[in-house]
Structure 1
Amino acid sequence: MVRIEKIMDKRGLKAFIAFPSSLYRDDPNWIEPLYLERAEHLSHKNPGTKHIEWQAWVAKKGDKIVGRITAQIDTLHRELYGEDTGHFGMIDAIDDQEVFSALFAAAEEWLQSKGARKITGPFSLNINQESGLLVDGFDTPPSALMTHGKPYYAAGVEQQGYTQGIDLLAYWMQLASLHFPPVLIKLMEQARKKVTIRRLNRKHFSEEMQILRQIFNSGWQNNWGFVPFTELEFATMGEQLKLLVPDDMIYIAEIDSVPCAFIVGLPNINEAIADLDGRLLPFGWAKLLWRLKVRGVRTARVPLMGVRQEYQFSRLGPVMALLLIEALRDSFAKRNIAAVEMSWILESNAGMRTILERIGAIPYKRYRLYEKQL
């Protein structure tokens, strides 16, 4: 028998967060997230909870946890897509359809009680955080702030009546293989007459972060499932980036002194925490800081990139993206970073996919977002 328990207190939340560590114990590509980061993510310290209401459950057989799931209502999403939307997320379970069925039944019942009839996911907790179910690329570890999964998860979700909404792609780029074909170099040289690439100004960090937010919200507004970043969300993200990202890993493209595009490079924190088992105490903090600040990591991720909507269908839009990638490449090279993940990219974003593939990046992971009508 499968028993479902609603998470109601800190003890339950701790067990919810800890469950994947036992499930993935024998997976060589699993990287245990930092418990402190996961706990804060699922607390009022996550600014997304200002507009997201969520509930979590675990599935048990006897006294043993065998699965988990969340359900969410995002008021910002409802403002854009209707009052009948809802989401699921953080699905992990043993290979047992009875467990999947029980977990989704609990999540869907709760969502229906909130008026939801259109369900999408998985999100942790919305599309601007960890998104998608890994369906291809299980043979490599996840990069920072990306999800991992089991190959049987897709079947477990689909047997609950969920179908593909859209796929997200992660691209892998060896910097030694990064090249700009002559035709792109010519376009980039022409664009330099109009486009200025500059670093983020740390003296005006808060203002700069809001500029990035405005560009992101403009550039992504017509994408599948888009939900805008709030000022508080981007400000909180900025405080985290300030600690983790050097000045020369955030670049802004300007035309006539007006910010029009940006890119953010993030040292791959997962590389630095791989052997910490999710713990920062007693010595995890010191190891993490030393690996990030002194020894350095050899991989990175581009988690954020945006071009204002008005430039996306012009020649300047994709060329600004190329100029930003070029600037970030040089910053990576100074730190002996050998490879970078560009993620995530909507499968339908043919323009950006073409750019990445022409300069040497290859798609190596695929994440699926599902949908269901209740």
Structure 2
Amino acid sequence: MIDIIPVVSKKQRAEFIDFPHDLYIGDPNYVPELFMAQDDLLNPDKHPFYQHSTAQLFLAYRDNKIVGRIAAIWNTQHNAFNHVNEGQFGFFDCIDDQEVADALLNTAYAWVKEKGGNKIVGPINLSTNETCGLLIEGFDSPPVAMMTYNYPYYIDLIQNFGLQKQVDLLAYDIPTAKASDRSVLLMDKLEERLKRSGIHLRLINLKDFKNEAEKIKRVYNKAWDKNLGFVPMTDEEFAYIAKDLKMIVNPNYCIIAEKDNEIVGFAVGIPNINEILIKIKRGRLLPTGIFKLLFGRKKIKTLRVMMLGVLEEYRKMGIEACLYGRIIKNAKTYGIERGECSWMLEHNYMMNHAIEQINGELYKRYRIYEKEI
């Protein structure tokens, strides 16, 4: 018999966070999330998502043992912005058992239906501004920072429930040694042409991070507004994410394009801290994890380009190529061995082609599923 129990206590929330550590024990590609970060993300009293939306966590038990978890999500911002009436599911982890998976997914499905939703979409871990997507290709290496990972059998569990593909999210691998020099070689000429149009490139100014983040937020919310499933960040949500990113960001990989002192485009690359987190047992910083995190940062050899956006009226001017070119050049200079560009919508042909032009290779694919109610 399977019992589905709503998470209502701090102890249960800790068990919800810890379940994947036991599920993936022995998997060399599993990266534990930091417990403190996950606890804040799932705590309605701490994360700004819950100022406008809601989520309910559930645990599945069999013989008094946890065998699965799921979150049912109602994102009011998403529904209002995209003119839809749907709920999401996220944080789905489960043993290889269709009965358990069905019980979890049916619980989330019923919760969304009770909210009045006509569709359930996922996996989305709160919103598309957080981690999302089920890994369906590329199981032979660990995920990079802020990307998901799961067992291959999840695909059957999800699809056997009746969920169908909505869209795929792509991740490109770019080994620095193989990266095309084309963007770098053209960069100087392109930048000179951009300068004649009043557009200049520079590194982010971490000493003025608050103002920089505010300007970037305006571009972010405009540049992505036509992307499938996009949800504009509230001021509180953007400040929350910016605060976390500031702790790991390297200005050499955060490039800004400006015109008349206004940001018109930007690219954000972050060191792949998963190289360190994979060594931190059960995501606990104490007692020794904090030292691995602090002393391991300088040894990171991979980078994730997680955001690249240009305002619509400034596209096709070469800004995107210059942003990529700057990051590639700096990555080579500072000993980065490879980078990942992710995630890209499968139908974002212009950006995907730009990555392929610099010898980016599609090596992981993630999928968002949906089911009508």
Give 1:61's aligned residue: 62
Give 1:361's aligned residue: 360
Instruction: Assess if the C-alpha contact under 8 Å between 1:168 and 1:366 holds in 2.
Output: yes
Distance 2:135 2:238 in 1: 26
Give 2:13's aligned residue: 13
Distance 1:334 1:138 in 2: 30
Instruction: Assess if the C-alpha contact under 8 Å between 1:220 and 1:309 holds in 2.
Output: no
Correspondences of 1:66-85 after superposition (within 5 Å): 66-82=67-83, 84-85=85-86
Instruction: Assess if the C-alpha contact under 8 Å between 2:133 and 2:169 holds in 1.
Output: yes
Give 2:205's aligned residue: 201
Identify the match of residue 245 of structure 1 among 246, 249, 255.
Answer: 249
Distance 1:176 1:83 in 2: 45
Instruction: Assess if the C-alpha contact under 8 Å between 2:6 and 2:58 holds in 1.
Output: yes
Distance 1:270 1:183 in 2: 28
Give 1:109's aligned residue: 110
Instruction: Assess if the C-alpha contact under 8 Å between 1:7 and 1:13 holds in 2.
Output: yes
Identity fraction in percent: 39
Identify the match of residue 230 of structure 1 among 234, 237, 249.
Answer: 234
Distance 2:82 2:326 in 1: 37
Instruction: Assess if the C-alpha contact under 8 Å between 2:20 and 2:93 holds in 1.
Output: yes
1:335 shift after superposition = 2.8
Describe the superposition over 1:48-92 as per-residue Cα deviations: whole angstroms up to 9, x where unpaired. 222220001111110111111101011111212346211111111
Distance 1:189 1:176 in 2: 26
Correspondences of 1:253-332 after superposition (within 5 Å): 253-277=257-281, 278-292=283-297, 295-312=298-315, 315-316=316-317, 319-332=318-331
Distance 1:171 1:47 in 2: 31
Instruction: Assess if the C-alpha contact under 8 Å between 2:184 and 2:328 holds in 1.
Output: no
Instruction: Assess if the C-alpha contact under 8 Å between 2:145 and 2:304 holds in 1.
Output: yes
Give 1:216's aligned residue: 220
Give 1:120's aligned residue: 121
Structure 2 length-normalised TM: 0.94
Kindly tell me: are residues 286 and 167 of structure 1, through their superposed partners in 2, closer, same or farther at Cα, counting changes over 3 Å? Answer: same
1:301 shift after superposition = 0.8
Question: What 5-or-longer segments of structure 1 have no aligned partner?
Answer: none
Letter in 2 for 1:306: G
SS at match of 1:176: coil
Give 1:36's aligned residue: 36
Letter in 2 for 1:361: G
SS at match of 2:208: helix
Kindly tell me: are residues 180 and 36 of structure 1, through their superposed partners in 2, closer, same or farther at Cα, counting changes over 3 Å? Answer: same
Letter in 1 for 2:341: M
Letter in 2 for 1:45: K
SS at match of 1:244: coil
Give 2:177's aligned residue: 176
Give 1:343's aligned residue: 342
1:46 shift after superposition = 2.0
Structure 1 length-normalised TM: 0.94
Instruction: Assess if the C-alpha contact under 8 Å between 2:183 and 2:325 holds in 1.
Output: no
1:182 shift after superposition = 8.2
Instruction: Assess if the C-alpha contact under 8 Å between 2:184 and 2:329 holds in 1.
Output: no
SS at match of 1:291: helix
